[in-house]
Structure 1
Amino acid sequence: MHTQTNLMFLIAVVVSLMLSQGESQPCGPSSIDVQQINTGKKVGTLDTVFRVTVENRCVCTVKAVVVQANGFTSSIPVDPKLFRKAGDTSYVVGDGQQIASTNSVMFEYAWSHYFQITPASVQIEC
């Protein structure tokens, strides 16, 4: 009985260490998930409205999220506090402010096709 209790305690400690070690791993751009959907709305006769959701999947709060969007343009205004140009192909998301774990920033744009938007950099606040 004593050996079984010790074994269970040891297993609990090992599992706890594995879980805490997994959470302490630093997050990076791959912790940012960018999803786009076609809303079905049209602007004029050619441009489709796309909704972009940039979600923080890191266990920590992040800030200064930057994405790459080569050739990005929109026929409707995009709120610069949500998405603004920060270089040739770089864009700042959410005005560079904090995005808590599992929270997201959403914006819409319109063009004849979607643009590939990929996470480039992020600052972690754990």
Structure 2
Amino acid sequence: MEAKLVVILAACILLSLSNKGHAQPCSPSDLLVNHTTMPGKVGGRPHYLVTVENRCVCTQLGVKLACAGFSSTVTVEPAGVVTPNMDNTLCTLYGGQPMHANETVLFAYASRTKISFRPVSSFLDCSIAPALAPQAAP
């Protein structure tokens, strides 16, 4: 009986150690932001295309980006894809909607200055995954 208890205890310890590094598989740093300066000007200001790619294996929701001083001389396209908060220091991406693994969100804006849109925070949900195509039975 004592040997069984030792084996169970050892298994529990190994399981807890093996899961320790996997408790948080991703972070906002798994959101890759790229800026491209578009040719020409819009509304007399430089025009930028921003892509935000979720490189996490999990879905990220409620994504917040640093966007201090963000304003656009034209409507951000697509409308509502990036929304500044009340004090204009953070922006919510995609209305807080889920960004699945490998999903990319694009938007364009025109501004006197280029904004970094550095990822600051998000919530992870590893149970939400894009629908997978059904597999044929063998």
Q: Does the aligned pair in 2 maintain the 1:80–1:95 contact within 8 Å?
A: no
| Counterparts of 1:62 and 1:49, CA distance in 2 | 27
When residues 57 and 110 of structure 1 are mapped into structure 2, their CA distance, relative to the original with a 3 A threshold, is same
Correspondence for 2:27: 28
- The number of residues matched between the two structures is 107
Q: Does 1:114 align with 2:114?
A: yes
Q: Which runs of 5+ in 2 are unaligned?
A: 1-17, 127-138
| Counterparts of 2:32 and 2:124, CA distance in 1 | 15
**1:47-58 to 2 correspondence within 5 Å?**
47-58=45-56
Matched residue SS, 1:81: coil
Q: Does the aligned pair in 2 maintain the 1:35–1:53 contact within 8 Å?
A: yes
| Counterparts of 1:68 and 1:34, CA distance in 2 | 11
When residues 84 and 71 of structure 1 are mapped into structure 2, their CA distance, relative to the original with a 3 A threshold, is same
Output one character per residue of 1:49-90: Cα deviation in whole Å (capped at 9) or x when no partner.
Answer: 100111111011111111011111100111442000124211
Q: Does the aligned pair in 2 maintain the 1:69–1:91 contact within 8 Å?
A: yes
When residues 39 and 22 of structure 1 are mapped into structure 2, their CA distance, relative to the original with a 3 A threshold, is farther
CA RMSD of aligned residues (A): 2.1
Fraction of identical pairs, as percent? 34
Among candidates 51, 57, 60, match of residue 58 of structure 2: 60
Q: Which runs of 5+ in 1 are unaligned?
A: 1-17
